[in-house]
Amino acid sequence: MTYIIVAILIISLLLIATERQTNINKAAVAVFACTLGWVLYVCFGSDFVASQHSEEYLSFLDGVKPNSTAAKIYIAENVLFPYIGHAAEIALFLVATMSIVNILYHNGCFDFLTLWIRTRNSRILLWKLTALSFLMSANLDNISTIIIMLTVTNSILTRTKDRMLYGSLVMIAVSFGGALTVIGDPIGLALWNKGAITASDYTLSMAIPCFMAWILPTAYMTMRLPDTISIEHVSMPYRGNDTALNLWQRLVMFLVGIGGLWFIPTFHSITKLPPFLGALCVLSLLWIVNEVFNRKIYKMERGIRSDIPQLIQYNTIQKILYIIGVILAIGVVTETGAMAWLSRQLSGCIGNVWGIGMITVAISSVLDNFASCMTMVSLHDVTADGYYGIGGAYWKMLSFGATVGGSILCIGSIAGITMMHMQGMSLKWYIRHVTPLTLTSGIIAFVFLCVSL
């Protein structure tokens, strides 16, 4: 049965990697794979728990004769539940950050971006767009960030070719901005929840490599741009009766939302509570401020109009379901003992974490970077010290390597796929014009990270 469950995961990963060819949503594939895998695991639960959790299972039975019903209860309460908890922590965190972005967008807290960025100087425009994308992605959900920033980009630029080029650099900035912090990308968030990294140490280690991976391709592209670029006439959007906030109120909401997200690592460090509770706390505070500032509208029974792009909500829901599916699917394979076997084989063949990091880069370029990274993460438990200790080199290399791989072909990340859809870009165009830059800069930054760890 182990072989069948492993085969299900492998087939699922292949379908995820070929999503654009098969037109089968990878979130649906991941959810179906995890469901089928755990059903098969439960059907042969007695054999699995006897081999993988023998001592714990005997303690759970407490002298009662083993039977299939007891095995199923033990699996549900002691084997499956921890994986559900890990997935739920990430899902709740993303729900909170998505809601924060929605509230800020509804109240026009991002409206000033288009006017501030607008310039006919092509080089200054590129640096403004990518720098803002980098900073926003470090603090917000990267899907929300890529959609907001591409919407701003497309509202400024007139030519399709310019939109594709600038959009590609924005996507790179979003990817590596998200890799800078533990709250900027689901990979870092998953490692943080696992206890493999700490927020401050992770950011310090990732700072220079992430800046290099963003700055190098941007600087090279800057040298090839013309002096000026054609842009659209830009004005502040009219929001009618959906919000009545003035400038200082919008600034207060922006500081509460973004500043609150900055405080989450400190909240976790002080209380030792899961990060999603900090995110929910920030959401509740922002919600209260929103209710107070917009009380006149609510009294007139005119709720805030839902004019945020539905693409943000749809992509975030897909992302949440996909992350839950991947974590549970990899979890069931881990519980069969297959991941422990694979870990021993890789240690014998490769023998060092640097090689595994390069394998992660290669796999993430064609497979979704979250799935590939979580597969590698499942090979080892967090130890007291060394490469696999808290803040160890293994976890940081996996995270950064997966981000590098996801940007090489852009089909390896949700942000990249979103960018291709929004910009009407083909993979062939990206490979021809952008891949050489991301490959070169990513490898340079990855080597720097390996040397510095």
Query: Cβ contacts of residue 20 below 8 Å, gap of 6+?
Result: 411, 417, 427
Burial of 122 (0-12, 13-18, 19+ CB in 10 A): buried
Q: Which residues of the chain have pLDDT under 50?
A: 303-309
Distance CA 188, CA 177 (A): 12
Distance CA 93, CA 141 (A): 10
Burial of 79 (0-12, 13-18, 19+ CB in 10 A): buried
Q: Which amino acid is at 244?
A: A
Distance CA 172, CA 416 (A): 8
pLDDT for the residue 304? 46
pLDDT for the residue 13? 87
Give per-residue pLDDT as tens, 131-162: 999 998 988 878 888 888 888 888 888 888 99
Q: For the chain, what is the radius of gyration of the CA atoms? A: 23
Q: Is the pTM of this model over 0.75?
A: yes
pLDDT for the residue 423? 86
Strand pairing partners for 121?
A: 228
* Residues listed for the chain: 453
Q: Which amino acid is at 126?
A: L
Give per-residue pLDDT as tens, 272-319: 888 889 989 999 998 888 888 877 665 555 544 444 445 566 667 888
Burial of 88 (0-12, 13-18, 19+ CB in 10 A): middle
pLDDT for the residue 235? 60
Distance CA 350, CA 361 (A): 15
Angle ∠(373,219,433) on CA atoms, nearest 5: 65
pLDDT for the residue 164? 92
pLDDT for the residue 99? 83
pLDDT for the residue 177? 93
pLDDT for the residue 367? 82
